[in-house]
Each structure stands twice: as C-alpha cells, then as structure tokens.
Amino acid sequence: MDALEAKIATCRICAPRFAATASAHSPRPVLWHGVQARILIAGQAPGMRVHLSGRPFTDRSGDRLRDWLGLSQAEFYDRHRVAILPMAFCFPGYDAKGADMPPPPVCAQTWRARVLAEHRDLALTLAIGGAAIRWHLNDRRPVAQVVADWRTALERRIIPLPHPSWRNTGWLKRHPWFAAELLPELRLRVRALMEMPG
C-alpha cells in the first residue's frame, strides 16, 4: 500500500479542474485507512474543512455521522478497524454559487478499484450519497429510494446512507423510519465489527 498511497498523495490529475473552480485550490488527496479494516466508509469527497485539515469528516457532517454509527472520535479514526475512502480523494471545489462541486469521476476511475483490492477483510460498507451508492451498489435510483430499500442492500453487506450534512435535516424529519429502523441496525453491526478481536 505504501507505493500506491504515495502515488495517490502526489496525484494531480484534477489540478486544472480545481484551478478553474471558484475556490481555485490545488489537489490535496485525503486517505484514512488501514488494509486490515473491516468497515469501509465510502463518502462523496472531502469538503473545504477536510481539505485544510487533511483528516476526513472534521466537520459537522462528521459529528452527525459518528452519532449515526455510535462511535467515539477515537474509534472512528482507528485505521485498523475503519477505512474512510471517499469517491474522490480531493476537495472538488466550490461552484459559482458557493456549493460543493460533485466528486470528479476520474478519481474513482483511476484509483478506487486498486485501493479496494488491498482491503480484503471488509465486512461492511457504508455507501454515503449518490456517487458511492452508484459505485458500490450499481443502483441509479434516487438516493432516498435506495436508502429506503436498505434491507436489500444489506444482503450484500452494504448499507446506503444519505449524506450526513445538516442540509439533510429536513429529509431525516420526513423519514422517521431512518432513525427508528435503519440506525439501530447500523449501530448494532458497526459495534459488533468494532469489538471483534483483531
């Protein structure tokens, strides 16, 4: 993994694309993983705070995600148990309205299969948001429909989730089954994997 990780760390495929965004930033790939991890958190792409910190989910979305999973910060960032590999390793930038750009597909096309091939002990994948759901489940339905059908995805050891952004608070209120049914199962499975000897 060291050689592959070094290549990803120096990747500049998207440099021209990022320079043309409203944020006009340079690439900074953010990976957080160990090959022995049993849980994969497959998010979308780092935001600006993560771009600056170099550590995934160092924002309010991370607070909500850790709450969903029932994990402390120390557990969440335990690379031996949790791999955090977004669909794009770099912050994609802001558009003209100040919103985050979507993850550029070229990142996953270039690196994802190679990185995941090194993770042979994964027992549960959390596919967060549309890009991750499409990659891991090959499901093109709207995110809300796929998340509502989470029990079917669980047969493949994948749990689809909406993005934990606070912008989704309204969605969560309109779908009380998410907190009542999905989250207890998610926490139960995550806790069991975290407590496995390794």
In sequence order, what DSSP letters do the residues of the chain get, joined into one string? -HHHHHHHHT--TTHHHHHTSTT-PPP----B--TT-SEEEE-S---HHHHHHSSTT-SHHHHHHHHHHT--HHHHT-TTTEEE--SSSS---B-TTSPBPPPPHHHIIIIIHHHHTT-----EEEEESHHHHHHHH---S-HHHHHHTHHHHHTTTEEEE----GGGHHHHHH-THIIIIIHHHHHHHHHHHHTS--
Question: What is the pLDDT, as a whole number, of residue 8?
Answer: 96
Per-residue pLDDT reduced to its tens digit, 11-47: 999 999 999 999 999 999 999 999 999 999 999 999 9
Average pLDDT over residues 5-12: 95
pLDDT score of 1 more than 60: no
**What are the boundaries of each domain within the chain?**
2-194
2-194 in CATH: which number?
Answer: 3.40.470.10
Cα 163 to Cα 2, 60, 113, 130: the distances in Å are 30, 11, 22, 9
On whether the pTM is more than 0.75, the answer is yes
pLDDT score of 169 more than 70: yes
